[in-house]
Structure 1
Amino acid sequence: MEYVGRVPAPPLDRFIDDIYCLTGVPRHRRMNVPPMPSAHLFVNLGGPARLWDSDPSVPPAVIIDGWFMGVWTRRFLVEYPAQVRLVGVHFKPWGLSPFVGMPATELRDRWVPVDAVWQRALDRIRDQVGDTATTTEALRVVEDELRSRLARAASRGLGLVRHTGERLETSHGAVPVGALADAAGVSGNHLATLFKSHVGVTPKRVARIYRFAHLILSVDALGPVDWSDLAQTAGYFDRAHFSREFKDFTGHTPTEYLALRRRFPAERGFPPDSGPMPAE
């Protein structure tokens, strides 16, 4: 598959990591996706995609048109169609809030049809992108839609959440949440309440996801991997805690994950392969 993405122009870049097109034949149809520090919008222009939650009590979903996904705190599995064509958005963890007009907790660990959030928008977007639009045109259509929906007035507390979230992003989750609350002049409980409203999870959970994402993306499967050193660098000072969290987030032990990564190396310059792993 080909991945073409770009960072949108300000002010969208405060909330969005990139807008991208994903096209072609997938090298692996089924991918196991660990928690990553982002929320998502997908506009599907190809065949149906299938999604499975790692929580067995949640029924699987077949996605034909498009869907939003808030921040995920557990892994899920996606099955691509045989021919992929979609336009997607990687939002920062707090990035959905000014576009959707609902508490982020309603999108946490969920996939929700686009029209359930943006009523009667999906057909219009798909018609504009169409079958013949170039990648540049498709990215522009989605960027224009996002720009038109960006809330004119920031909702209560979003500025503080964004500032705090950016510190977690740049530190890879290493800044203590208590220190962030103190620096902002608010209580830890108040900061957690704001994060739940705008991100869907607490700042402590966001820090965990950033920390794990940094670790998993730093693994170089082509050479020897010192898991103890990587874990300590990422801020895991308890090896047992690291091992439990790794298994919880990926479904594999570190050793099993490394073996999979060596069997199925990530494609350079192809972000969707950097964290997710083929599901056997």
Structure 2
Amino acid sequence: MEYVGRVPAPPLDRFIDDIYCLTGVPHHRLMNVPPMPSAHLFLHLDGPVRLWDSDRSVPPAVFTDGWFMGVWTRRFLFEYPPHVRLVGVHFKPWGMSPFVDMPTADLRNRWAPVDAVWQRSVDRIRNRTGDAASAAETLRALEEELRSRLAEAPARGLDLVQHTGGRLETSHGAIPVSSLADAAGVSGNHLANVFKTHVGVTPKRMARIYRFARLIVSVDALRPVDWSELAQAAGYFDHAHFSREFKDFTGHSPTGYLALVRRFPTERRGPHDFGPMPAD
């Protein structure tokens, strides 16, 4: 598939890592996605797409237009259609908050139809782009929609979350949450509460996801992998804890994950290639 993406212009870049188009025939239709440090908006212009929660008590979902997802703390699965024409937004973990008129925590480990959050936005973008629109035209329409949805004033606590969340991002989750709270001049409980409001998870949980993401991105399947070394570099100092968390997040042991990646290698052309793996 072809990936075309870019960082949006200010002020959207404060809240969004990238906007992108993904088109073509997928090499693997069923994908397994571990927790990653982002929230998402997907507009599928050639649906439908099916999704499954790894929690089997949650019923599967089918979306013909698009969906929002908050931060996930467990893996989920999705199935591409035979031909993909998808427009997406990778929000920073706190970045969805100023674009939606609902508690971000309500989207934690959940997906919701786009029109349930943004009424009539899918039709508006479809009307502006059409079937023959280029990726650049489609991204321009999406960026204008995002600008129109951005709140004029930040909600209470968002600046604090953005500042401390940015430190978690640059440190890959290595900064103790107590240090973040002390530096911000707030209590640990207050910081946890504002994170839950704007991210859906506590800063401690967010740090775990950043730490895991660093580990996954650092895996080079073309070379021998020293899992102990990678785990320690990512901040895991208890190998048993690392193995349990890896299995929880991916559904595989580290060696099983490596074997899967070697069976189905990817060129990692864009952010969509980091984390998601074929469901074997």
| TM-score in terms of structure 1 length | 0.99
What is the alpha-carbon distance in structure 2 between the residues aligned to residue 86 and residue 126 of structure 1? 12
Q: Considering only aligned residues, what root-mean-square deviation do their CA atoms show, in Å?
A: 0.8
3-state SS, counterpart of residue 35 of structure 1: coil
Matches within 5 A, 1:94-105: 94-105=94-105
Matches within 5 A, 1:105-254: 105-254=105-254
Give percent identity, aligned residues only.
79
What is the alpha-carbon distance in structure 2 between the residues aligned to residue 145 and residue 120 of structure 1? 11
How far the C-alpha of 1:129 sits from its partner, in A, is 1.8
Extract unaligned runs of 5+ from structure 2. none
Extract unaligned runs of 5+ from structure 1. none
3-state SS, counterpart of residue 268 of structure 2: coil
Q: How many residues align?
A: 280
How far the C-alpha of 1:267 sits from its partner, in A, is 1.6
How far the C-alpha of 1:227 sits from its partner, in A, is 0.5
Contact 1:19 1:139 in 2 (8 A): yes
3-state SS, counterpart of residue 87 of structure 1: strand
1:163-212, Cα deviation, whole Å (9 max, x unpaired): 00000000000000000000000000000000000000000111000000
Q: Within the alignment, does 1:24 sit opposite 2:24 as a pair?
A: yes
3-state SS, counterpart of residue 89 of structure 1: strand
3-state SS, counterpart of residue 19 of structure 2: strand
3-state SS, counterpart of residue 146 of structure 2: helix
Q: Which letter does structure 2 place at the counterpart of 1:96? A: M
How far the C-alpha of 1:3 sits from its partner, in A, is 0.7
What is the alpha-carbon distance in structure 1 between the residues aligned to residue 181 and residue 153 of structure 2? 24
1:210-237, Cα deviation, whole Å (9 max, x unpaired): 0000101100111111101111111111
| TM-score in terms of structure 2 length | 0.99
3-state SS, counterpart of residue 266 of structure 1: coil
Q: Which runs of 4+ in 1 moved over 2 A?
A: none
1:123-156, Cα deviation, whole Å (9 max, x unpaired): 1122112111111000000000101111101100
What is the alpha-carbon distance in structure 1 between the residues aligned to residue 70 and residue 268 of structure 2? 27
